[in-house]
């Protein structure tokens, strides 16, 4: 049974985050020591690592909660997990698409900008241009 700091080290999470997960009931400690310290056992360490990984894949806390309960449920069907993963996948694809567009626009602008002492700048022009009907 580890104190919170050791549990944090063992799972690669910040101590504050482990405490936060306990507060929101995502991964609650196994119990408390006599002096009130949170105690984490193997099961909790595994859950914390599980959550760290799922968070790194940008699952929300609520989704992590859902995944954890599926993870704990011996009778779960993998269809639930898959549909959750596919939903996240679609969102990530969208985000990826937006980000690529953004990157291309910005790259195009930066390329067009000579970046010297002259005041004219295509970047600012593009932000300002074809605005709320101010000159065509």
Partner DNA sequence: CTTGACCTTCCAGTGGCTGGAAACCTTATA
Partner DNA sequence: TATAAGGTTTCCAGCCACTGGAAGGTCAAG
Residues making contact with DNA (CB under 7 A):
3-6, 14-17, 19-20, 34-38, 55, 60-62
Which is it for the CA torsion 58, 60, 61, 67, positive or negative? negative
Q: Which stretch binds a second copy (CB under 8 A): 15-23, 29-37, 119-127?
A: 119-127
Q: Does residue 121 touch a second copy according to CB under 8 A? A: yes
Contacts for 13 with CB less than 8 Å, ≥ 6 apart? 21, 48, 52
Q: Does residue 69 touch a second copy according to CB under 8 A? A: no
Q: Does residue 35 touch a second copy according to CB under 8 A? A: no
Contacts for 15 with CB less than 8 Å, ≥ 6 apart? 4, 5, 8
Alpha helices in 1-136 (DSSP H): 4-11, 15-23, 42-56, 61-72, 78-112, 122-128
Separation between Cα atoms, residue 84 and residue 81, nearest integer Å: 5
Nearer to DNA, 17 or 126 (CB): 17
Site for a second copy in 40-59 (CB under 8 A): 42, 45-46, 48-50, 53-54, 56-58
Cα 73-79-82 angle, rounded to 5 deg: 100
**Contact residues for a second copy, defined by CB under 8 A:** 10-11, 42, 45-46, 48-50, 53-54, 56-58, 67, 70-71, 74-79, 81-83, 85-86, 88-89, 92-93, 95-96, 99-100, 102-103, 105-107, 109-110, 113-121, 123-124, 126-128, 131-134
């Amino acid at each position: 049974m580890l104190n919170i700091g050791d549990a944090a080290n063992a799972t690669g999470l910040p101590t504050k985050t482990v405490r936060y997960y306990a507060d929101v009931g995502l991964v609650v400690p196994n119990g408390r020591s006599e002096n009130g310290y949170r105690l984490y056992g193997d099961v909790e360490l595994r859950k914390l690592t599980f959550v760290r990984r799922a968070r790194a894949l940008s699952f929300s806390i609520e989704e992590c909660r859902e995944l954890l309960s599926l993870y704990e449920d011996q009778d779960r069907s993998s269809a639930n997990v898959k549909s959750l993963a596919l939903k996240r996948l679609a969102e990530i694809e969208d985000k990826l698409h937006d980000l690529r567009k953004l990157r291309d626009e910005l790259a195009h602008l930066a390329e067009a900008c000579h970046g010297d002492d002259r005041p004219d700048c295509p970047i600012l022009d593009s932000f300002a241009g074809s605005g709320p009907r101010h000159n065509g």
